[in-house]
DNA sequence: TATACGTGGCT
DNA sequence: TAGCCAAGTAT
């Protein structure tokens, strides 16, 4: 065992740690990997129901590799960061073709797979293979920034490198799987962002921030920047049968790869929408109704969404049948609709449309 | 190095 | 309540 830091953490874990999360049973590299990807920037309570449904549908790396991508995205819909889902399937296909269906127990080879970075590779090594490896997620950053009174925002390379150094130096050679879970659990349950439970923390006796009574000063906060305001038209094109036109979004950008209502150039005036639909979608429209807009806030900008209900004339046809489909709402919900668009389609209270 | 990428919980 | 943040990675 390395230092008393790790030992105190393990003793605490034995009494208070989380040991019955869904990915803790039937533990193998595939199950650990899926959980780690879902848990990136996403809280445990949010992940659990998605994880259960995902594993029921894609129980093995082969099942995931062979599935239609819309099926994978559909199971991810509502979780956010959809590149994770597309990368997940790409990586599954690579594991099958390049590694014979077995995840490599090697840091560099794991990192060669899309969506797996330094910390996720280490988590898989520790959790699935019980190999000594060092993780550094948000919880660990907070614990270490406080324990060593590391100044500055972890987004800065200098600060990040310091945290990695501390993380490496504390990683024990024995019980790495439990240690890795322990330091994350401590961050999630005791060394929380606000109101940390220093009174019950096993590390308080050596914690520099606690000694200075300044736990919440660490880690340093991100410099704040003004979020730009963007705007878009979202058109609810309805054909005489009551079907709605959806289009598959490009793989990059917001809601990448998901099916959503078509967007139109925000510079268009409302009386130009019908003509714009005819031009860009190749179908004839009538009866444009502008709905109340609403603002949606993302990590880096605000988006003002202006919904427009447009009736398509009978026998309307669109170009690009692969990328655009007329669908009844129930069918639409089975696809990878992102949550805000799903709300538009299903919540009459919000839009007074449907 | 900075920015893009989502959604939901917390204060 | 509006802003901050969460089991990070890719570009």
- In this prediction, what percent of chain A has a pLDDT beyond 90? 72
Q: Where among A184, A217, A250 does a domain terminate?
A: A217
Is residue A224 one of the residues assigned to a domain? no
Burial annotation A142-165 (CB, 10 A radius, 16+ → b, else e): bbbbbbbbbebebeeeebbebbbe
Supply the pLDDT for residue A250. 92
Instruction: Based on the fold, state whether residues A28 and A136 are members of the same structural domain.
Output: yes
Is residue A131 one of the residues assigned to a domain? yes
Instruction: Based on the fold, state whether residues A200 and A240 are members of the same structural domain.
Output: no
In tens, the pLDDT along A251-272 reads 999 999 999 889 999 999 999 9
Instruction: Based on the fold, state whether residues A58 and A149 are members of the same structural domain.
Output: yes
Supply the pLDDT for residue A88. 98
Contact residues for strand C with beta carbon within 7 Å: A 18, 21, 23, 35-36, 39-44, 81, 83, 87, 111, 113-121, 137-139, 141-142, 181, 184-185, 187-188, 193, 221-222, 224, 297, 299
Q: CA-to-C1' distance for A348 and C10, Å? A: 37
- Told to judge if A168 belongs to the known catalytic residues of this protein, a careful annotator would answer no
Is residue A252 one of the residues assigned to a domain? yes
In tens, the pLDDT along A291-340 reads 888 888 898 999 888 889 999 877 666 666 778 888 888 888 888 888 77
Domain containing residue A290: CATH number: 3.90.79.10
Closest by CA to A235, choosing from A186, A291, A173, is A291
Instruction: Based on the fold, state whether residues A208 and A236 are members of the same structural domain.
Output: no
Instruction: Based on the fold, state whether residues A18 and A83 are members of the same structural domain.
Output: yes
Instruction: Based on the fold, state whether residues A45 and A15 are members of the same structural domain.
Output: yes
Q: What span, in angstroms and rounded, lies between the C-alpha atoms of A207 and A148?
A: 7
Q: Where among A170, A197, A217 does a domain terminate?
A: A217
Q: Which among A36, A174, A229, A331 is annotated as catalytic?
A: A36
Measure CA A229 to chain center.
23
- Collapse the DSSP code of A307 into the 3-class scheme (helix H, G, I; strand E, B; otherwise coil) and give the result: strand
Instruction: Based on the fold, state whether residues A193 and A234 are members of the same structural domain.
Output: no
Domain that holds residue A339: 229-351
Q: CA-to-C1' distance for A119 and C11, Å? A: 18
Instruction: Based on the fold, state whether residues A234 and A294 are members of the same structural domain.
Output: yes
Q: Which long-range contacts (CB under 8 A, 24 or more apart) does A264-270 make?
A: A264/A232, A264/A233, A264/A234, A264/A235, A264/A308, A265/A233, A266/A230, A266/A231, A266/A232, A266/A233, A266/A306, A268/A233, A270/A308
Is residue A223 one of the residues assigned to a domain? no
Is residue A113 one of the residues assigned to a domain? yes
Taking 80 as the threshold, does the pLDDT of residue A59 lie above it?
A: yes
- Residues β-bridged to residue A232: A305
Instruction: Based on the fold, state whether residues A242 and A97 are members of the same structural domain.
Output: no
Number of folded domains that form chain A = 2
């Amino acid at each position: 065992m390395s230092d008393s830091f790790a030992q105190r953490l393990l003793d605490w874990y034995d009494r208070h740690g989380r040991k019955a999360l869904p990915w803790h049973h039937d533990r193998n590299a595939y199950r650990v990997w899926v959980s780690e990807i879902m848990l990136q920037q996403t809280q445990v309570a949010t992940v659990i129901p998605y994880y259960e449904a995902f594993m029921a549908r894609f129980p093995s790396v082969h099942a995931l590799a062979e599935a239609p991508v819309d099926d994978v995205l559909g199971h991810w819909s509502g979780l956010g960061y959809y590149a994770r889902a597309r990368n997940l399937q790409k990586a599954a296909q690579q594991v099958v073709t390049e590694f014979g269906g077995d995840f490599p127990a090697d840091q560099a080879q794991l990192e060669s797979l899309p969506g797996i970075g330094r910390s996720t590779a280490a988590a898989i090594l520790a959790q699935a293979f019980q190999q000594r490896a060092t993780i550094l997620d948000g919880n660990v950053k907070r614990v270490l920034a406080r324990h060593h009174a590391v100044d500055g925002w972890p987004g800065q390379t200098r600060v990040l490198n310091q945290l990695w150094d501390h993380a490496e130096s504390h990683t024990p050679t024995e019980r790495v799987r439990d240690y890795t879970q322990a330091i994350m659990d401590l961050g999630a349950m005791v060394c929380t962002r606000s109101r940390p439970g220093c009174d019950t923390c096993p590390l308080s006796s050596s914690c520099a921030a606690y000694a200075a009574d300044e736990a919440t000063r660490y880690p340093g906060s991100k410099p704040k920047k003004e979020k730009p305001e963007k705007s878009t038209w979202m058109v609810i094109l309805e054909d005489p049968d009551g079907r709605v036109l959806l289009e598959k979004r490009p793989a990059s950008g917001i809601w990448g790869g998901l099916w959503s209502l078509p967007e139109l150039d925000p510079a268009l005036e409302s009386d130009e929408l019908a003509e714009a639909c005819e031009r860009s979608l190749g179908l004839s429209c009538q009866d444009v109704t502008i709905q109340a807009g609403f603002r949606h806030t993302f990590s880096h900008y605000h988006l003002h969404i202006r919904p427009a209900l447009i009736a398509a004339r009978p026998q309307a046809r669109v170009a690009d049948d692969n990328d655009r489909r007329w669908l009844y709402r129930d069918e639409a919900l089975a696809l990878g609709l992102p949550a805000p668009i799903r709300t538009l389609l299903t919540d009459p209270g919000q839009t007074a449309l449907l």
